[in-house]
Chains A and B, each alone.
Chain A
Amino acid sequence: MFYNFNKIEEVKIRLRSAEGHICEVEESAALMSSFIRSMIEGFNEVTEVSLPNINSVVIEKVIEYMRHYKDKDPPIIKKPIISSKMEENTSAWDAGFIDADWNMVVDLMTAADYLMMIPLRDLCCAKMACKFKGRSIDELRAEYHIENEFPSEMEENLEFQHPWRLE
């Protein structure tokens, strides 16, 4: 048998999803999440972390992100974003990674928030902001099924503040 003695087999962390699936990820990648890091550092020898509110599709996506940024820092997205196209705000890989449908981005964002992965959470937030940028109120309400919660006089008041009305 042939062993590569230089390479020590890396510890794998097992992430248990909401459905009970197990997804494995290298420890060094998993440490990107402050939540997992505190679990591992808090309880020695922990190799399995249960994430009952994240489904396995999202976990796979998170692991993809962890592996990509295992050895390097994710780019920082400048506030405010300059364009509604994600490619113009961040790196091509990030833009491609986050190019998903609305529900996926929301799930990924809440998962990142839960796992305490600030760069991934910011990436999702910026993506959401891209979706909102330059849209009208009615478009937004229709597209995202948002109810108008304001009583009519307050709405008028808000609209009065809108300087575009002056033009």
Chain B
Amino acid sequence: MLPQPLIFEIVSYLSLPDLFTMAQVNKSFNKAAETPSLWKREFLKIWIQDDGLNSQLDYNTHRYWKQLCIKGLKSQNNWKKLPGRLFTHAEISLLYNELQGVLKSPAIPIISFRRDINTFPTLLQDIFGNPQDQHSEDMDIDTIQTFEDYLNSAGNCLCAEIRNASDLTLLAASRWNLISTDAICEERPSDSSESTCDTDEEVSCKFSYKSTKSFLLEFYICLKKSIELFCEGISYFLLESNDILNDYLQVWNNFAASAKNANELFYPLVEMINEVYEAKFGEVLDAPRMSLIRMMIAGWRRIVFERVQEKLISQIVKMIESVRKLIFEGKVDYLAVDSLKSIVDAIMDISLNELTVYFKSHSKLQLEGPYLALHEEILAASFDSYSELALQPLDLAVFFEKESNLLFSFLPNSTICMLNELKIKILINNLQKSLSKEFLLFNQAPFAASQKYNSNEITAFLYAIDPNPSKISSFLDFCFGNEKLVKITQMLEFLSKNPYDETIIEEDLIIERRATLAGIPINIQPEKLFLFSTCQDLTYPQLKNILKAYAV
């Protein structure tokens, strides 16, 4: 038969369904059709992006791409199984195609159309900050018409479903997606013990045994599975990427736009579901409304970020280190600073919520989630590299000043503040060291002090080294005549009195004022900010209620 390299070449011209066939023809074709990079190419093409992502044949590709393709086809099948009484098959496949289109090539909003660019620089933060604006009015008329048709039929079916529901609590729980799918499985009688297929199939098997199907749960699972699959593909793509920073930025920007698009696409449907259920159970259910954006972001955090976290964060820290090294040499890499700004913002995006977004650059923002991980890495790496710097204390101060100016441009103030504290500690330590060195070497004969010193910090410090008042006062006198020592003592005095940067405090005040204008009461106490950051799963109306409680 044909030589193996030629078989590889032939198979590489084939696409998805045929690859499955070729794998079954015979051994050499099987071997060729198992080439992971072919599956990667197919997966990226069908589920991630039409073009754009590079997928040249790469022999380091991992085997899971084939599994992903199989998962993708399964999830596509699950959509086909969605009940025909709520939507026709044609409508479901239209919705599925729309969702795929939105994930693969979202319409990127033009920046000038976004409001308040200065406060919310990224798309997602803008959406968080302006929640009432989520439903864009410039949807085209055909789509609206189609959706109205959907809504009428779907609304009727949902009402019927609620009328017939026997297990209200389960329905309610599923409506809000409060119990995980595993928990649902356990509560059901176990018809499924023979079932050996993987979880998503199991779930759909079990639904068919259930007499009252929750359309929302099925719909939600299909939607979630599709989005999770997309995220999974992205995470593997990033793990194999050679330039993870750029690739992460590219896919994240797309995903943020997808979240906006998908939210608009399913907004009428989601809102209708929310309203229909609320009309019936509204008072009983104290649970968040369904929100696609929140679901998508949560999926991204769980699937993409957690998998690539280590690789991504270490790359960012490395880049910060190289920027820092250049500053040390007196140069600035503006390109690197720019991309650092975007990547830090991208990680901020998935660490914020509707409330914390207002305090994004507040110095006392309670950090949480992905950004917290980055923050800790940055602090640890900075501590290491500061300790390695072999500089005279005065030069060190100059370097810190220069560095701060640059770091300011891409790190949020909460990190800057921690970094400043670290730097001040190191600086004071260094200043004290060189002062004490001079002091110990100082052996001029004591004489009567010509000037009275009342700088308590420094005398106290010197007293701790050598409790000899006359030596101290003559040393201080000597310092006064020495330019370098004057600077050191002055700086030491300044730092120990005044550890906070005034520009940061000023900025905090601006943020607080702006938040008050937006109707958000301000009381910057750590525990309250901590409460803000636990609002991850609340809706805007609920947030408003909480805020009212604050204000009273």
A131 (CB) vs chain B CBs: closest residue:
B10
Stretch from A5-13, A35-43, A62-70, A148-156 that touches the partner = A148-156
Evaluate whether A164 and B13 lie within 8 angstroms (CB atoms) in the complex, with A137-B24, A149-B26, A155-B24 already known: no
Residues of chain B from 1 to 47 with CB closer than 8 A to chain A in the complex: 2-3, 5-6, 9-15, 17-18, 20-27, 30, 41-42
Whether B3 and A113, one on each chain, are in contact in the complex, defined by CB atoms closer than 8 angstroms, is: yes
Q: How far is A132 from B32 in the complex, measured between Cα atoms in Å?
A: 14
Residues of B within 8 A of A121 (CB): 6, 9
Residues of A within 8 A of B22 (CB): 132
Residues of B within 8 A of A141 (CB): 25
Residues of B within 8 A of A162 (CB): 20, 24
> With an 8 A cutoff between CB atoms, is B294 at the interface?
no
Residues of B within 8 A of A133 (CB): 14, 18
Residues of B within 8 A of A164 (CB): 17, 20
Q: State the Cβ distance, B54 to closest chain A Cβ, in Å.
A: 14
Q: How far is A159 from B15 in the complex, measured between Cα atoms in Å?
A: 18
Among candidates B9, B26, B30, residue contacting A122 with C-beta atoms closer than 8 Å = B9
Residues of chain A from 114 to 134 with CB closer than 8 A to chain B in the complex: 121-122, 125-126, 128-129, 132-134
Evaluate whether A150 and B13 lie within 8 angstroms (CB atoms) in the complex, with A110-B6, A137-B21, A163-B73 already known: no
Among candidates B2, B11, B26, B74, residue contacting A106 with C-beta atoms closer than 8 Å = B2
Q: State the Cβ distance, B81 to closest chain A Cβ, in Å.
A: 10
Evaluate whether A125 and B27 lie within 8 angstroms (CB atoms) in the complex, with A133-B14, A133-B18, A134-B18 already known: no
Residues of A within 8 A of B3 (CB): 110, 113
Encode contact with B along A85-128: 1 for CB under 8 Å, 0 otherwise. 00000000000000000000010011001000000011001101
Whether B6 and A77, one on each chain, are in contact in the complex, defined by CB atoms closer than 8 angstroms, is: no
Encode contact with B along A39-76: 1 for CB under 8 Å, 0 otherwise. 00000000000000000000000000000000000000
> With an 8 A cutoff between CB atoms, is A166 at the interface?
yes
Q: How far is A115 from B35 in the complex, measured between Cα atoms in Å?
A: 26
Whether A163 and B18, one on each chain, are in contact in the complex, defined by CB atoms closer than 8 angstroms, is: no
Closest 8 CB pairs of A and B: A129-B13, A163-B73, A80-B15, A125-B9, A125-B10, A128-B10, A81-B13, A149-B26
A residues in contact (CB < 8 Å) with B: 77, 79-81, 106, 109-110, 113, 121-122, 125-126, 128-129, 132-137, 140-141, 146-150, 155, 158-159, 161-164, 166-167
10 contacts between A and B (CB under 8 A): A81-B14, A106-B2, A113-B6, A121-B9, A122-B9, A125-B12, A129-B13, A132-B18, A140-B21, A148-B26
